[in-house]
Amino acid sequence: MSAATATHGQRRAVRALIAIAVTCFLTAASGCGTAHPRPITAGELAEAQTFPFYRLYWVGPRFLGHPIVSVDGLKSYLTSVGDSVYYGDCVRSKGIFGGGSCLLPLQVTTVIYRRHVNDTLGSQRNMLIRGVPAVVYDGGRSIELYSGRLAIDIFSDRYTHALAAAQALRPVNAPGSATGDLPPPVYCPGLSREIGALVWVVMDSLPGHICQRSAGATAFAKGLTE
């Protein structure tokens, strides 16, 4: 496994732990997943609205009836993990005895892209969403989109909800719309598995022909070692 692949796997694991910790923190003292979190304050939302390093994506103040409950903002920002916006709570998904693990209805994480191979994501498929390459994995519950210099990761409870979130993405800290195409990536995403014709067309036309240049550099490096 390459260092980049390991970093991507570690980043996904850290994000999952953060999501659980955030939800447990927001619920009542009687236990994680047993009460509704308090509404987010204007000051907490401002943490996302003033995030300075890059476009931070969200889907608006509510998602399918679930309110935004927390943001990472600048104070909690980790370069290797990115910055996240969290929606909903665990009340509807708790076990019959209460408590248990907390899985939020939606988490949107924006992070600066670091090249990685998607083989570690398990069963997956590549597709175009909002005009940019994306990979759907985790049984459809997770989607990673590639835009600008960023990767936008969506974690939800089912494919239809994850896709709905992808279709509603817009910047929280910059002008932008929830309709139309996202900005194309300025890098060549490290997609794995079968890449369909439509995705290839977009990859082929990325700014600066970056995918062709990346393929040429890879072939040259491989030739030096053979």
Give the model's confidence band at 99: pLDDT under 50 very low, under 70 low, under 90 confident, else very high.
very low
DSSP-derived secondary structure for 121-167: G-SEEEEEETTEEEEEEGGGTEEEEEEBTEEEEEEESSHHHHHHHHH
Q: What is the model's pTM?
A: 0.78
Residue 72: how many other CB atoms lie within 10 Å = 22
- Per-residue confidence (pLDDT) for residue 23, from 0 to 100: 46
Tell whether the model's pLDDT for residue 91 goes beyond 80.
no
In whole angstroms, what is the distance from residue 160 CA to residue 193 CA?
22
Mean pLDDT of the 131-138 span: 95
Residue 161: how many other CB atoms lie within 10 Å = 18
Tell whether the model's pLDDT for residue 207 goes beyond 60.
yes
Which of 20-24, 38-42, 74-78 reaches the highest mean pLDDT? 74-78
Residue 138: closest CA among 164, 115, 118: 118
Say which amino acid occupies 44. Answer: E
